[in-house]
Amino acid sequence: MTLVLITGAVHFANGSPAGANAYLFLAVLLLSFGIYSRGMRRQNYWLSLTGLVEAWFLFDYCAYGTAVSVLQRSKTPLPASMDEAYSRTYLVGALAFLAFACGAHAGFARSRISRGARSAVLALIAAIRARRHAFRGERLRRGVFLFFTIAGVLSVGVLLLDPESRHQLFFEHVGLSPREGMGRYASLFFMLPTTAVGLWYLSKPKRRYSRILTMAGLFLLAALHLGCGRRLMWASTMLLVFHLCKVRGIFTLRARHLAVALPLVLLVSLWMEATKNIGWYAAAGAIDITALTDGDKVFDMVDNSVGRFDTTAALIVDRETLPYYYGETFLMAPLQVLPVSAGFERSRGVREELGELIYGAFDQGLVSQEASLVGELYANFGYFGVMGGFLIVGFGAAFLDGRCHHNRHPIVALGYGLCLFRAVHQLATASTSWFPLTFLAFLPWLCAVAVAQVNWRSRL
């Protein structure tokens, strides 16, 4: 609420370039908080899906959106005046958040009904089945995650042994863009941090290790994403780590911990933004702590990595001259999982539209052409798509929070942690970007669930 009031004061002090719709969005935020806030009691805000969605709206609309509106900046050329484009974006954001709040209220209510009405029966069934399947299921699940972890470690070796991939990573670009034929190894590398963390959580240590050493090891696993330039993936893996540590009773993330860690996160992000085109060999000597005091560099880093307000505005005002996609971009998303050899065209949907606006062309090497979920929903179905989509997002996030946030069952806790791991990406990137990565993230978990359900004795 404090952030909303500060945002309103900034808009007022600068003549509200985005018009009345900016105040409408802030009013909707203040009113909508009360719709679902009761359901979030006794939950860790930063480790809940509902909290992450709310935090993303606060960042992209209150913080980043206010900054680009007041400073009159946009990395995307706009076919309409900037004030008009941003005003419409705030209106769409208000409708999206209102729908999200209503969905979250229904999701929390449904989770309470399900938990109360069925808990006794489910507990009895689970107790009977647990004795019979627990030991076998645990071994099989650990085996699946061990297999994917070993495959991920071997993929690192293959990538480093390949001269072209090694030269690119060390001398050309921190973000690994595998050449043709090496994509499968890069995918295994992407899966390695989450599978290794999952293997740790599913394994029961024979003796208690130091909490500091345990956290340090998990942080190093999360930092593997930095090896291929994925800052947001690194931060998202940390959410998975913190959730599993909370459930196991090792460490509970608090707001004060985030305040202490924020300078480190900014420093790492600024360093990778400044050195992403020179490779790791030169990047190792390019650490500049003074960059944290340069407001322009901090803004450019946010603008190029997670800021989506202006690209959302471009997709909204583009609909005056360009047709709606009517679900085409979402239907194309699953095709991105298939290998290039399958012969399907690698279309990127709304990302291609943004690439044409920004650069006049679209190419894999171009950056900052990502679209938010708000923008993609509007580009497909207009206002009704945004409201319907975020009604589903709110219901799903709240229902999972209500059912899984405190659940200590290994496979449930790990699955919920993977949802936290992917949540921000699915809000801040187009479906053709996040679907393949989400599929890969959940693939080991789905395999572990499936393998544990099979009665191998009767099969053999």
Helices (H) and strands (E) in the chain, counts: 19, 0
Q: What is the pLDDT of residues 65-87, one digit of tens each?
A: 998 898 888 877 887 888 899 99
Query: Contact, 99 vs 338, CB < 8 A?
Result: no
Q: What is the pTM of this model?
A: 0.89
Query: Contact, 144 vs 414, CB < 8 A?
Result: no
Hey, what are 147's tokens? 């297999």
Percent of the chain exceeding pLDDT 70 equals 79
| Residue 162 to residue 282: CA distance in whole angstroms | 20
| Residue 185 to residue 244: CA distance in whole angstroms | 27
Query: Contact, 308 vs 368, CB < 8 A?
Result: no
Q: What is the pLDDT of residues 177-204, one digit of tens each?
A: 666 667 778 888 889 999 999 999 988 7
Burial bucket for residue 407 (CB in 10 Å: 0-12, 13-18, 19+) = middle
- Of 164-173, 188-197, 277-286, the least confident: 277-286
Q: For residue 366, what pLDDT is reported?
A: 47
| Residue 238 to residue 247: CA distance in whole angstroms | 14
| Residue 30 to residue 190: CA distance in whole angstroms | 39
Which of residues 398 and 16 earns the better pLDDT score? 398
